[in-house]
Chain A
Amino acid sequence: MTLRPCGGFSLVELLVALVVCALLTGAVAGLLSPARAAFEATPAALDLHQRARAGLDLLTTVVRSAGANVGAADGLGALANLVPVVMPLPSPEGNLADGEFGAVWVMSVAPDAAQGRLDRDQPGPAGALTLAPSPACPQVSDVCGFKPGDFVAIVDPLGRFEVLAIASTNAAGKQLSPAAALTQAYPAGSLAVEAEINRFALAVQPDGSRSLVRVTSAGATQPIVDGVSRAGFVPWGEAAAPELRWDGASGWASYGPSPLAPTLVDPQGEFPPGDTCVATYNGLVPRTRLASVGERGTLVPFARSDLDDGPWCSAAVDGGRYDADLFRLRRLDVWLRVEVLSATLRGPAGYLFNRSGSARAPIKWVPDLTVRVSVALRNAT
């Protein structure tokens, strides 16, 4: 048998081939790594925009329509002039500048909502609310549309209000029984309206992130958008104090509650006859308690200190009172700072990241996104 020479590779050829392969593999790996980083970062960045959009859209929709009027408020004034329908609240963490708030309270009312006016004085804070049969009482089998379990905002002509849950109804007597005693007995003529009242704020999650949540009247906390590292609300309000008039028969205010009859006695004894938290009488001429801080028709930003110095109106919200300057609110600037949920896409805490992550290479970073919008309160005019 004859052995034929085999056409193999020499050692040098093999080494050269190995080096070339290693270089090619390295080059491909070098291409793949940024591609993989982009593949991880791009969906996260898209998700960031999506969450920011969803959060802002929900907030603006609710704030824009807050306090739509109802027919039953006729004679008292528009609902947004009886109660503040948007109330910025301080951040529980206190990490915002004085001009910013970290939460917001919003009252919404649907068109043709259940509504009515008290036919007679409530017998006591725990007593049943008796509604007048007409004209502002919807003609449905429930009491003016109210059902057990509904949440009702009850408002008196002086701007005092609170939110109650209905325990039971009595259709024959047109009565609503509150689930718990109110803070005061409401007088005849007070407005009762089915309202959706929510507080929007950030809530810390078990993993340390924050979510934008909605806290309902029933106390349920409903998540809206995850990964919102910070949120702020800047209220803008009418600079001039309201104009008030009393013509001997009825009152008129350019905003806020209309002046009451100068002889009307406050059943709670909180104010002198005819006075409210917004107006006080000088003889037969109503004077505003609010100070002007600029020209009529101009808007100025309100800091927390501006909405925490009175004059005070009583209400069973936010510590039992609210600042009458809240009636000035015309616009709310909202901003959200949204972060990626995966720590592997966040870099060190600082300008780009509110919360630090584990990514060290900037190519993998997806910086926090801050979005802002200004919302005009359509019903507060």
Chain B
Amino acid sequence: MKETGVALIMVLLVTSLLSTLALGLAVMVSTTQLAEGHFGETMAMLYAAEAGVELAAHDLAQSADWDLVLSGSESGTITDGPATGVRNIPAGGRVSLSIETNQLNCGKASSCTVAQMNANSRERPWGENNARWQLFEYGSVPSLNAFARPGPWYLLVWVADDSRETDGNPLADGAAADHRGRGILRVRAEVYGASGARRAIEAELARSCRSDGGADVCQPGIRVQSWQELRQLIP
């Protein structure tokens, strides 16, 4: 009986066993590396959203009339066309500016009616003073010079009137200089990444103004008086 080749079979068996072990480990390590990479990327996306709030604060500090901002007549320095339509996310995928804005204003993808935006709910409990989110800054992060290490994401920053006001006009920042909520805006920054990754921050920005002969005299700069990450509240 010829036994030539037994060694080959043994070697093949041992090699395949060791290869399986090594392959299993390699898959596990690469999966973890991928998970860590995604985690690191979403952390960077959070900081990009925070940078969006800072950019909005900078532009709002330059704005003389926040009513124009709330009505959508004035936008920030970072825009890439009309505040409607669909944009490509550099990392892959697309984001619809209109749908995202409508979702915030009435929870629907289609256009919102005034009645829908004024409807009370747990998420929007202020009736006719409910926030009317307006896109203020929006653009592909790699195209923005403001970022030192831009990632392949898309940034959206909305502004809206704060919930303190009772003037019934969410498109105006308080009726008078001494009106409750005058000089306070809400800002929401969201960053969209690959595979549906999103990070969002909502902040309240305030400027310190006093009435002088009916006109606002404001101190320079903007104060962030509230800051919150919206991890559980992203639709």
A residues apposed to B, CB below 8 Å? 24, 28, 31-32, 35-36, 38-39, 42-43, 46, 49-50, 53, 57, 61, 64-65, 68-71, 74, 78, 110-112, 134-136, 138-140, 145, 378-379, 381
Contact = CB atoms under 8 A, between A and B. Distances in A.
B212 interface: no
A166 to B, nearest CB: 15
Interface range on chain B (Cβ under 8 Å from partner): 35 or more
B29 A139 contact: no
B230 A111 contact: yes
Interface string B64-107: 00000000000000000000000000000000000000000000
A65 B228 contact: yes
B233 interface: yes
Interface string B147-170: 000000000000000111110000
Interface stretch (B122-130, B136-144, B189-197): B122-130
A68 B228 contact: yes
B4 interface: no
Interface in B210-234: 224-231, 233
Nearest to B223: A381
Contacts of A134: 166
A31 B230 CA distance: 51
A381 B35 contact: no
B145 interface: no
Given A50-B35, A134-B166, A135-B180, A379 B227 contact: yes
Given A50-B32, A53-B39, A135-B180, 8 more contacts: A39-B21, A42-B29, A49-B32, A68-B227, A68-B228, A71-B181, A134-B166, A138-B126
B109 interface: no
19 contacts: A32-B17, A35-B18, A38-B25, A39-B24, A42-B28, A43-B28, A46-B32, A50-B35, A57-B39, A68-B227, A71-B163, A74-B164, A74-B180, A111-B228, A111-B230, A112-B163, A138-B126, A145-B125, A378-B224
Shortest 10 CB-CB contacts between residues of A and residues of B: A138-B125, A69-B226, A378-B227, A68-B228, A71-B164, A135-B166, A65-B228, A46-B32, A71-B163, A139-B127
Contacts, number: 88
Majority secondary structure of chain B interface residues (helix, strand, loop or mixed): mixed
Contact of A379 (B17, B163, B226, B231): B226
Most central of A49, A61, A378 by chain B CB within 10 Å: A378
Nearest to B17: A32
A35 B22 CA distance: 8
A139 B126 CA distance: 6
A70 B181 CA distance: 12
Interface string B1-34: 0000000001000100110011011001100100
Most central of B17, B204, B230 by chain A CB within 10 Å: B204
Interface in B43-65: none
A71 B162 contact: yes
Nearest to A111: B202
B164 A140 contact: no
B178 interface: no
A69 B225 contact: yes
A172 B175 CA distance: 30
A42 B180 contact: no
A49 B125 CA distance: 42
